[in-house]
């Protein structure tokens, strides 16, 4: 399972992976945008960064979706990972169809093993 599939399984709701299509108006997309490695006691672990972008016709609805994503993912520990929110929920404005969008970013660290 890749990192986006894992995050989607934790989120436990419909979400697109990698690309946000034009429809439906109300949607969530998870994208990997960064990462790196963490070396600790001669062990190197991959660290991932994932962004959730939430879109809806109104700002309150899109923000509520982002709050739901935050509640599901922030401080999650399980499936061999720990997830932490690393940005506040950010208003990124409107798309070309005047739908409101918010983002929230997370870092995913391996644990155990």
Would you list the DSSP string of the chain? --HHHHHHHHHTS--EES---S--SSEEEEEEEEEEEEEETTEEEEEEEEEEEEEESSHHHHHHHHHHHHHHHTTEEETTEEEEE-S--EEEEE-TT--EEEEEEEEEEE---
Q: Is 21 left (phi over 0), alpha (psi -120 to 50) or beta?
A: beta
- Please give the span between the terminal C-alpha atoms of the chain, in angstroms, as a whole number: 16
pLDDT, one tens digit per residue, over 1-56 is 799 999 999 999 999 999 999 999 999 999 999 777 666 666 657 889 999 999 99
In this structure, CATH architecture of domain 3-110? 2-Layer Sandwich (3.30)
What is the reported pTM? 0.91
Percent of the chain with pLDDT over 70: 90
The total of other beta-carbon atoms located within 10 Å of residue 13's CB is 10
Instruction: Return d(Cα 49, Cα 59) in angstroms, integer.
Output: 25
| Closest residue by Cα to residue 101 from 41, 25, 36, 46 | 25
Q: Average the pLDDT over 65-91 and give the result.
A: 97
């Amino acid at each position: 399972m890749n990192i986006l599939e894992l995050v989607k399984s934790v989120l436990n709701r419909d979400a697109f992976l990698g690309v946000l299509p034009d429809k439906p108006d109300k949607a969530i997309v998870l994208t990997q945008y960064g990462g790196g490695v963490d070396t600790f006691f001669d062990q190197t672990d991959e660290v991932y960064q994932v962004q959730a972008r939430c879109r809806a016709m109104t700002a309150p609805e899109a923000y509520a979706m982002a709050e739901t994503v935050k509640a599901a993912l922030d401080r999650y520990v399980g499936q061999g990972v720990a997830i932490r929110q690393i940005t506040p929920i950010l208003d990124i404005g409107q798309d070309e169809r005047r739908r409101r969008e918010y983002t929230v970013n997370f870092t995913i660290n391996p644990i155990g093993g």
